[in-house]
Amino acid sequence: MIATSGPGATNLVTPLADANLDSVPVVAITGQVGTGLLGTDAFQEADIRGVTMPITKHNFIVTDLQEVPTAIAAAFHLASTGRPGPVLVDIPKDVQNARVAYKFPPEIDLPGYKPNTIPHPRQITQAAQLIASAKAPVLYVGGGVIKANAAQELREFAELTGIPVVTTLMALGAFPSTHPQFFGMPGMHGTVSAVAALQRADLLIAVGARFDDRVTGEVATFAPRAQVIHADIDPAEIGKIRAAEVPIVGDAKEVLIQLWKAFVRDDQLAVPEIGEWMSYLAGLREQFPRGYEPTPDGLMNPQYVIEQLSELVGPEAIYCSGVGQHQMWSAQFIDFEHPRTWLNSGGAGTMGYSVPAALGAKAACPDKEVWAIDGDGCFQMTNQELVTAAIEGLPFKVAVINNGNLGMVRQWQTLFYDRNYSHTKLREPDEYLPDFVQLAKALGCEAIRVTTPEEVAPAIRRARGITDRPVVIDFIVGHDAQVWPMIGGGASNEQIEYARGLRPLFEKAGEEK
């Protein structure tokens, strides 16, 4: 990312915070006032280094021209190694305008920065022994597995041991959604079987996951019977939320390879006997499948739209989501079979993420079909980027789930604030304000409006056939559809509701009620 000084630089604060929370490698190069003006409150001066210090992996201000090549090289190295993250380089105007004999540094020397990628053999042995003796283990997989390009190693280890797998919001696609060992996404809007897998496990094998509050719920009651193996490239994450019996610092790919080798090579180790455990989870998956009820106002179900999108477009496409209900429905109803096919803002929950993310995905992968799934609130924040897409010839598709409200906020106001609706309505039910069809056409896109279930599949097929410009489909859906299952904020995972008023009773296989 490149930005000017002052407001140009401060406009990067949200994306840098987003990248920091979701471990996305980003290098931001910002302009700055001349070195002679630093600290004088000059026109468009902003201490962007100080502003972004808490939300970047590292940042520099380069006042010596000779240090520019080294600083840029170090920035890319820092951003892309260890736990990935954003790095900012601030360069004053006079330094930018000067000339230097450029020579790429032969090596980057960063004292104190030595990420540990190779797990300690003793921890691997201890972990393997715990796994072999477990009766109810679960692989709790986070986005670090995708960052490490370790999806294949995850699948091989899971299939070798037969252990059930749950993946966080950021890890969708790390393990195939249709695999029999996959039990879904845990957490606030996770599947009943995934939440139960964590709550009733006797061993959590956490790989590249950080025990986020949206997964754990009330920490005191999270996975109360489980021992923990926690593997992460970032030692600061291990033990931060939940103490680990076996802490493993290392790259997720290398950790999974070494665990696989431990079972293959050691005659004293046997894969765990977990048939009863798997049957229990499979029963929950069958008893509480993904599904939805008709919307209270009789309008089209948003879940149906996303379900159709998944079925017609398939798992080879890249899906980019905004933040809110449509994000959770996308996570629930799209079958992700491959890593790096799901982009969303997890840690920061940044509305407006979808369209620029899709633009970047299409620029990086022009041969891939790219869909932005947005809400009508999110879409109003960044739809102007469609002009860039039209001008640059980046024909991705946008599915706007238009319920006329800030849907997730409305859901919370419905469930927890006695329907005291405040600042969530975006339009009246029978209005189109703004008119996204006309707006999209003005931005250089093809546009389609869909109001009935019968129109959904034809509209998706039509959009897929348009390859010379972006396409926006405005799906008019019920304004009061809600995301289920759900665990209230800060509540125990034991309080998961499959639907309003329907709270499943978790029972471990063989456990008396």
Alpha helices in 162-274 (DSSP H): 192-199, 213-216, 252-265
Collapsing DSSP to helix, strand or coil, 448 comes out as: strand
Q: Would you tell me the crossing angle of helices 252-265 and 121-133 to the nearest 10 degrees?
A: 60
Residue 6, CB-side half-sphere exposure with 13 Å CA sphere: 9
Rounded to whole angstroms, the Cα distance separating 282 from 279 reads 5
Q: How far, in whole angstroms, is CA 506 from its chain's centroid?
A: 27
Tell me if 16 sits within 8 A of 26, measured CB to CB: yes
Collapsing DSSP to helix, strand or coil, 137 comes out as: strand
236: its two tokens = 């600061």
Neighbours of 420 (CB within 10 A): 8
Q: How far apart are the first and last CA of the chain?
A: 56
DSSP per position, 305-352: HHHHHHHHH-TTSEEEE-SSHHHHHHHHHS---STTSEE---SS--TT
Residue 508 confidence (pLDDT): 63
Residue 513 confidence (pLDDT): 37
Residue 371 confidence (pLDDT): 98
Neighbours of 265 (CB within 10 A): 8
Tell me if 282 sits within 8 A of 194, measured CB to CB: no
Reported as type and span, the H/E element at residue 268 is: none
Which residue is it, tokens 């797990």? Answer: 119
Radius of gyration over alpha carbons of the chain, in Å? 24
Tell me if 385 sits within 8 A of 15, measured CB to CB: no
Neighbours of 28 (CB within 10 A): 23
Alpha helices in 3-115 (DSSP H): 7-10, 13-21, 48-52, 68-80, 93-97
Neighbours of 245 (CB within 10 A): 14
3-state helix, strand, coil in the chain (%, to 5): 40, 15, 45
Residue 102 confidence (pLDDT): 79
Residue 162 confidence (pLDDT): 97
Rounded to whole angstroms, the Cα distance separating 14 from 20 reads 10
User: Nearest 10 degrees: CA dihedral of 368, 373, 376, 378?
Assistant: -80
Residue 358 confidence (pLDDT): 98
Give the predicted TM-score (pTM) of the model.
0.95
Q: How far, in whole angstroms, is CA 430 from its chain's centroid?
A: 34
Which residue is it, tokens 């803002």? Answer: 345
Neighbours of 248 (CB within 10 A): 26
Which among 35, 33, 26, 45 is positioned nearest to 88, based on CA atoms? 26
201: its two tokens = 């496990």
Torsional sign, CA 273, 275, 276, 280: positive
Tell me if 30 sits within 8 A of 95, measured CB to CB: no
Residue 504 confidence (pLDDT): 94
Reported as type and span, the H/E element at residue 86 is: strand 86-92
Rounded to whole angstroms, the Cα distance separating 513 from 508 reads 9
pLDDT along the chain (513 residues), means of 10: 96 97 98 96 96 97 93 95 97 94 80 94 97 97 98 98 98 98 98 97 98 96 97 97 97 98 87 96 96 89 98 98 98 98 97 97 98 97 97 98 96 94 90 94 98 97 97 96 95 95 77 44
Residue 104 confidence (pLDDT): 76
Which residue is it, tokens 């348009």? Answer: 466
Residue 267 confidence (pLDDT): 79
For residue 65, CA distances in Å to 60, 68, 77, 94, 97 come to 13, 6, 20, 9, 10
Residue 509 confidence (pLDDT): 52
Q: Which residues pair with 472 in a beta bridge?
A: 398, 447
Order of strands across the sheet that contains 446-450: 342-343, 318-321, 370-375, 397-402, 471-476, 446-450
Residue 511 confidence (pLDDT): 52
Rounded to whole angstroms, the Cα distance separating 398 from 371 reads 6
